[in-house]
Every structure is written in structure tokens, then in C-alpha cells.
């Protein structure tokens, strides 16, 4: 298990007003809307989530770096746990010409409005019960999803990622390293259930039996 960063440049490209989220808007109401993971979360007002999550190509370099790092074959089988609108999965099909991709998400809206080219390979499903056979994938990824799970589902999901993956595994979660980042995370997050420091996350990974790589994002 190693720390490998593929997405900090994507995370850092977004500007965030932490105080606005808690001082201008009703944070409780916004969170109650966000955790439904419906249209408002993806394509509604920014106070409810993404504020319009549209394809812009920013994930292409991430897919290319991951494919290169793990030396994935052109026909690799790739699963994204918490794929949302599947922009990253689409990029894998561009980087790896005959890749076979699959994605799951609990958001029916996200799946219905996913990238058209990969939509047939997506399904609404629960991360703690992945609907795939053991050892089905050369790469299993989960980007900014696992911190949205309560501990009992988080541990089961990590076990499921281990079960369905026969090769590389890579997850990215939100974290905090000091009091400022903890406050910023509390201000900014709308759907987070697992609030852990990097050391706590690594403890969870090890105790759950997760053997893949990981990365963190923090709100500086």
C-alpha cells in the first residue's frame, strides 16, 4: 500500500469560499439536499454541491497517469466505485483503446446523466455490495467517494474493492492535517460521514485488509 497522488492538480484548480458556505447559506438545508445525490447536487446551485458538473476534459491527464503508472494493458478491465457522471471512466476509454469499463453509483441522476459513450456500462448499485465476481478487474478506483460512507459501510466497501480487484487498486479520500483544515472540511463538506486524519485513514485501510494505493485531498 503506497501513497500516490494523481489528482491534487484537479482538486487545487477549484476556488472555494468556506465562509460563504456556512455564513450565507443554510448549511443544514444544503446538506439535506446534497445527500440525496440528485439533480440539485450535480447540476443545481453551487451551495448544494457541484453547481453544474459538466465534461471539460480535465480528467484525461489523470486517466493517462494512472494507466501509465500501473502499466495497464490496452484492454484493461476498469471499475470506478462511485463513478458519478463517469467522466474519468470515459477518459480511460480514450487512453486505453479497447478498455472495458464499469461504474457504479448510488445516484440515479448521476448515472442517467453520465457521459453518453460509457453510460451503457454503468449501473446504480451500493458500494458495500459490488455486483461483480471475484477478481473481475485489472484496476479498481474510487475517487472522493469513500468518505461519504459510515464506518460500517466504509470497511465493507474496502473489502469489496479487494474482492473484485485482481490487480491495481486506488482510492482518494478527504482528510485534514491540522485544525485549519479540519474547520475548512467541516465548512465545505456536504456529504462526508468519515472525518479522519491521514494516520486514521491508513489505520482503516490496514485493518480492513485493503492492499491498494491511496491519496488524500485536504482543504487548505
Residue spans of beta strands (DSSP E) within 74-212: 77-81, 100-105, 122-124, 137-143, 165-174
- pLDDT tens by residue, 106-147: 999 999 999 999 999 999 999 999 999 999 999 999 999 999
15 or 212, which is more confident?
212
Instruction: Kindly state the cell numbers that stand for 156.
Output: 465493507
Mean pLDDT of 55-80: 97
22-66 confidence digits (pLDDT tens): 778 899 999 999 999 999 999 999 999 999 999 999 999 999 999
Give me the pLDDT at residue 13, please.
65
pLDDT at residue 189 in the model: 93
Phi, psi of 129 (to 5 degrees): -140, 70
- Which pLDDT score, from 0 to 100, does residue 45 have? 95
Closest CA to 196 of 169, 212, 211, 214: 214
Fold of 8-26+59-217: Rossmann fold (3.40.50)
Residue 19's pLDDT band (boundaries 50, 70, 90)?
confident
- Say what the pLDDT of residue 16 is: 77
Q: Which long-range contacts (CB under 8 A, 24 or more apart) does 154-158 make?
A: 154/193, 154/194, 154/204, 154/208, 155/204, 155/207, 155/208, 156/128, 156/129, 157/81, 157/127, 157/128, 158/204, 158/205, 158/208, 158/209, 158/210
The two beta strands, 100-105 and 137-143, are unpaired
Closest CA to 39 of 52, 29, 26, 27: 52
DSSP element (H, E) containing 112: helix 108-112
Total number of residues shown for the chain: 220
The model's pTM: 0.95
pLDDT at 17: 81
Q: Quick one: pLDDT at residue 195? A: 95
Q: Which pLDDT score is estimated for 144?
A: 96
pLDDT tens, position by position, 179-214? 999 999 999 999 999 999 999 999 999 999 999 999
Let me know: does 88 contact 65? Beta carbons within 8 Å. no
Mean pLDDT of the chain: 95
Amino acid at each position: 500500500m503506497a501513497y500516490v497522488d494523481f489528482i491534487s492538480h484537479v482538486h487545487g484548480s477549484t476556488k472555494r469560499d468556506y465562509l460563504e458556505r456556512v455564513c450565507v447559506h443554510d448549511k443544514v438545508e444544503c446538506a439535506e439536499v446534497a445527500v440525496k445525490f440528485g439533480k440539485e447536487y450535480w447540476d443545481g446551485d453551487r451551495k448544494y454541491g457541484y453547481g453544474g458538473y459538466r465534461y471539460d476534459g480535465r480528467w484525461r491527464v489523470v486517466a493517462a497517469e494512472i494507466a501509465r503508472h500501473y502499466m495497464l494493458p490496452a484492454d484493461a478491465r476498469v471499475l470506478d466505485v462511485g463513478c458519478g457522471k463517469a467522466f474519468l471512466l470515459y477518459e480511460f476509454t480514450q487512453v486505453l483503446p479497447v478498455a472495458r469499463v464499469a461504474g457504479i453509483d448510488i445516484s440515479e441522476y448521476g448515472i442517467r446523466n453520465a457521459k453518453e459513450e460509457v453510460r451503457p456500462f454503468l449501473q446504480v448499485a451500493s458500494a458495500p455490495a459490488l455486483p461483480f465476481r471475484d477478481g473481475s478487474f485489472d484496476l479498481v478506483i474510487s475517487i472522493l467517494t469513500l468518505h461519504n460512507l459510515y464506518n460500517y459501510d466504509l470497511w465493507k466497501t474496502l473489502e469489496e474493492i479487494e474482492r473484485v480487484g485482481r490487480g491495481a487498486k486506488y482510492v482518494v479520500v478527504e482528510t485534514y492535517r491540522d485544525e485549519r483544515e479540519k474547520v475548512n472540511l467541516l465548512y465545505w463538506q456536504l456529504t462526508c460521514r468519515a472525518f479522519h486524519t491521514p494516520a486514521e485513514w491508513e489505520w482503516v485501510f490496514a485493518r480492513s485488509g485493503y492492499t491498494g494505493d491511496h491519496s488524500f485531498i485536504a482543504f487548505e
